[in-house]
Amino acid sequence: MLEGILSMSSITMRVGRRFSEGACMARMVGWRERAALPELGISDMSAKMDTGALSCSLHAEDIEITNHDGTNRVRFRPAGCDEVCTVPLLEMRSVKDSGGHVTVRPFICTELVLGGERLSVELSLIDRAPMRHPLIVGRRALRGRFTVDAESADLLGVPELNAQKEPGSRPTKRSETSQRRSATSRLRASLMPRRGLRRAQ
């Protein structure tokens, strides 16, 4: 009996130590931070750290899906920018918002900079015009990297655009061929009727 108790105590201590070490490795961020999306030409914008959201999302206008040489691309104007971006389309996904409404959104892969951290994320594009923060950073990007202090804001300061990219951080859930096939099938089924999203001619 005593040996069993000692064994359980040893396991608990090891688990607790690992949890503490993981918590120490995560960098503290506030509920609001300044972020950059360098591949989209955005060097400084307000971002909300939202642990209630799974993925990241960016307010964008004039969203259009195009196809050139068999490759689906998305063209859009990021929040606060005059220039239009055209980048490869990762895929179309159904996303449920905080109000329970489901929308089909285009997703792209791009780099996100928070403080001195540079990582690759999957980012959805949506017209968030009524919202206060043009960029939402979800828990998939935060997990294992950052701990959110809900009582603080702007802990990281200005994004460091010369920060080194996190090794192996590019999302690789599917092959490019699989992504293109998935995106094409979903586009045919659901793009045209969606509000705020139109197909380029």
The secondary structure of 115-161 as a DSSP string is TTEEEEEEEEEE--TTSS-SEEE-HHHHTTTEEEETT----S-S--T
**Does pTM top 0.85 for this prediction?**
no
| Beta-carbon count within 10 A of 34 CB | 20
Q: Which domain holds residue 109?
A: 27-199
Give me the residue label for tokens 């655009």.
161
Of residues 37 and 192, the one with the higher pLDDT is: 37
Angle at 74 between CA 68 and CA 78, to 5 degrees: 145
CA distances from 112 to 78, 108, 119, 123, 179 (A): 14, 12, 5, 9, 21
Token pair, residue 63, equals 């969203």
Task: Establish if 137 belongs to a structural domain.
Answer: yes
Residue 68: pLDDT band with limits 50, 70, 90: confident
Task: Establish if 9 belongs to a structural domain.
Answer: no
pLDDT at residue 198 above 60? no
Task: Establish if 144 belongs to a structural domain.
Answer: yes
Element (H, E) at 3: helix 2-25
| Phi-psi category of residue 186: left, alpha or beta, with phi > 0 → left and psi -120 to 50 → alpha | alpha
Task: Establish if 6 belongs to a structural domain.
Answer: no
Task: Establish if 96 belongs to a structural domain.
Answer: yes
Task: Establish if 93 belongs to a structural domain.
Answer: yes
Task: Establish if 22 belongs to a structural domain.
Answer: no
Task: Establish if 8 belongs to a structural domain.
Answer: no
| Domain count of the fold of the chain | 1
pLDDT at residue 194 above 90? no
Would you call 101 helix, strand, or coil by DSSP? coil
The string of pLDDT tens digits covering residues 104-127 is 999 999 999 999 999 999 999 999
- The CATH number for 124's domain is 2.40.70.10
pLDDT at residue 168 above 80? no
